[in-house]
Amino acid sequence: MMLYRLKNDFRLSIITLLSVCAIVGITPFAVYRLINGDQLAAIVDTLILLSICSVMAYAWMSGDTRRSGVIMAVVVCCGGLVVVSLQHIIGLFWLYPCFITSFFLTSSRLAVLINGLALFTLGVFKVGNIPSEQLVSFITTAIVVSACAYVFSRRNESQRRRLEQLATLDPLTGVKNRRAMEEELHKAVLNLQRHQIQYGLAIIDLDHFKAINDEHGHAEGDQVLIKCVDIITDQIRQSDQLFRFGGEEFVLLLPGTDESGLISVTQNLLEVIREQLQSPSARVTASFGLACLGAKENADDWMARADSALYQAKENGRDQVVMADSASHHPQKDTAVA
């Protein structure tokens, strides 16, 4: 789970990397200054290190990397200013990496604000009693460094958003794909464990879809899939998420939904799809396999129960809703429409 989160959460990986670098980079200085009798600087180094590690711990425990990134950027820049006040000109060198990392820890606009406030404080309050010539030279170079980091950050944010869209959206229907679904299912498991938020899951399979492709061609089959997505998205809440699982199968994730609510929503979808979805020669129906997330269940087991319920719906004659039994992990409750 730890490696999964680092791999899939860019800001969390940056926070963790910065914390590790801080431990490796600051600890020797703190020890060296303590040995040489510079206790104040050693205490400051230790406090900065503890603050950074505390923010990292908060990010891991809460999952709130956006707020954690802002806090860490502020801590790092404030720590850099304190170091300047103690080390004077030598301390200025610590501010360069602080300014750069701000753009990785938070949005580019907030990073500009944080860095600007740090430079304003440095210049107006004469932190460290830096001679004016050196101070102007540093502020100028720091602005150049921040400007370059800003351009890189904006471009990186744009490219990352575009790559995320390409990686997580189904190109035919425009809904999220299987990869995005797996990430959201893992998040749902964490949300249930941490915040006791209930989740309902429905696997939706269009009945006899292969016959549509065989009789009318894949182009007509694609239009049926697109129309199906339009119908479903018109009926669900903004907080609900629809994914294309593969082929003619879709997955619907509903937060804050119990078994009765899940059955009610999918029963309505079943009827609306039957009434509105058509191929060139006939109406199209769908089968539904449902499962609510169990307290000690992982994403794979959750999906397996819903898939088992879908299999039962097809075995029972299709065009119906089947709810998986949360206790035995086998389909039990059967809500069907002839």
Active site residues: 248
Task: Yes or no: say if 273 and 245 are a contact pair by the CB < 8 Å rule.
Answer: no
For residue 331, the surrounding DSSP H or E stretch is: strand 331-336
Token pair, residue 28, equals 């020797």
Task: Yes or no: say if 89 and 98 are a contact pair by the CB < 8 Å rule.
Answer: no
CA 319 – CA 247 distance, rounded (Å): 18
β-strand partners of 291 = 201
CA 313 – CA 307 distance, rounded (Å): 10
CA 128 – CA 55 distance, rounded (Å): 27
Token pair, residue 191, equals 């949300």
Task: Yes or no: say if 299 and 185 are a contact pair by the CB < 8 Å rule.
Answer: yes
Inter-residue long-range contacts of 164-167, CB under 8 Å, 24+ positions, other chains counted:
none
Residue (of 148, 137, 124, 151) closest to 92 by Cα position: 137
Q: Which residue has the tokens 């129906």?
A: 285
DSSP 130-162: --HHHHHHHHHHHHHHHHHHHHHHHHHHHHHHH
